[in-house]
Structure 1
Amino acid sequence: MEGTAIPYKMLSLDPFSQWLGIEILECEIGKCKLGMTVRPEMLNSMQKAHGGITYSLADTAFGFAVNTNGRFAVSIETSINHIEALEAGDYITAEATLESLKNKIGFYIVEIKKENTLVALFKGVAYRTGKEWEDN
């Protein structure tokens, strides 16, 4: 399967990411940029976006990017630093970029931004299986 088509297939099979309203903005091998709008039901008790919302967008961008290399890959370690609070109506993007790729391990950085402002930074390590993505 063509690597840049894999994130679209993954999104079509992912009801959680669909519920979040995630859209694919750009996709190339080793890189994926997603966007979404923070909705009122995504806020915490302080009326700010729950940290899990930013994390989920970043984790999805990471997952999509690491799979563009054509092999099934899953996260084995991730972390996030929250820098700025978000509110309902904010449109945010997450851009995952390959930093290092080995036979079994991939390391990615994901920048989460509101407009041009960095609001969170996510780091992820993925395990790459031997199973390849297929068109069906």
Structure 2
Amino acid sequence: MTKSEKIVSEMMTKDTFSQWLGVEVLEVKEGFAKIKMTVRNEMLNGHLVAHGGISFSLADSAFAFASNSHGQKAVSIETSINHVKPIFEGDELIATAEKESISKSLGQYIVRVTRGEELVGLFKGVVFRKQENWDIS
């Protein structure tokens, strides 16, 4: 297991919200994370489509994993999402987070949320990179 994979594994053991979402980690490498989940009935809003917070939360989890995968602890300071298409119960969503730029104290990431080949959400996020590393042996 790589250092990046160990960090994400450690994060997932404590991340009960991502566990509730049903997140499965598909791939992790430095500056990159790919995760998936399936939309459940209790995630729907009054229009019978997935609540916007669901795709946002999935993207946010991928963002957290990708931004911490470098070994330096990172916390979000700004995020936004474009809800491109409605999401329905039973949809399997994949969030792919990729580093756009990184410096000593900041990192910028783009997360694409897809249903199959179809883009359903586009998330952008900025993290503050703390001067603290993950203690992974």
In which range does the TM-score fall when normalised by the shorter chain?
over 0.9
Where does 1:29-40 land on structure 2 (aligned, <5 Å)?
A: 29-40=30-41
Letter in 2 for 1:132: N
TM-score scaled by structure 2? 0.97
Q: CA RMSD in A?
A: 1.1
CA distance in 2, matches of 1:131, 1:72: 6
CA distance in 1, matches of 2:71, 2:131: 10
Q: Does 1:6 align with 2:7?
A: yes
CA distance in 2, matches of 1:42, 1:72: 30
CA deviation profile, 1:39-95 (whole Å, cap 9, x unmatched):
000000010000000000000000000000101100000000000001110000000
Task: Spell out structure 1 runs of 4+ moving beyond 3 A.
Answer: none
Q: What secondary structure sits across from 2:86 in the alignment?
A: coil
Q: What secondary structure sits across from 1:75 in the alignment?
A: strand
The count of corresponding residues between Structure 1 and Structure 2 is 136
Unaligned runs of 5+ in 2: none
Where does 1:125-136 land on structure 2 (aligned, <5 Å)?
A: 125-135=126-136
CA deviation profile, 1:71-124 (whole Å, cap 9, x unmatched):
110000000000000111000000000000100000000000000000000000
Q: What secondary structure sits across from 1:17 in the alignment?
A: helix
TM-score scaled by structure 1? 0.97
Where does 1:1-136 land on structure 2 (aligned, <5 Å)?
A: 2-135=3-136
Task: Indicate if the aligned counterparts of 2:76 and 2:127 stay in contact, CA closer than 8 A.
Answer: yes
Unaligned runs of 5+ in 1: none
Deviation at 1:8, TM superposition (A): 1.2
Deviation at 1:7, TM superposition (A): 1.0
Q: What secondary structure sits across from 1:8 in the alignment?
A: helix
Deviation at 1:135, TM superposition (A): 2.6
CA distance in 1, matches of 2:55, 2:9: 20
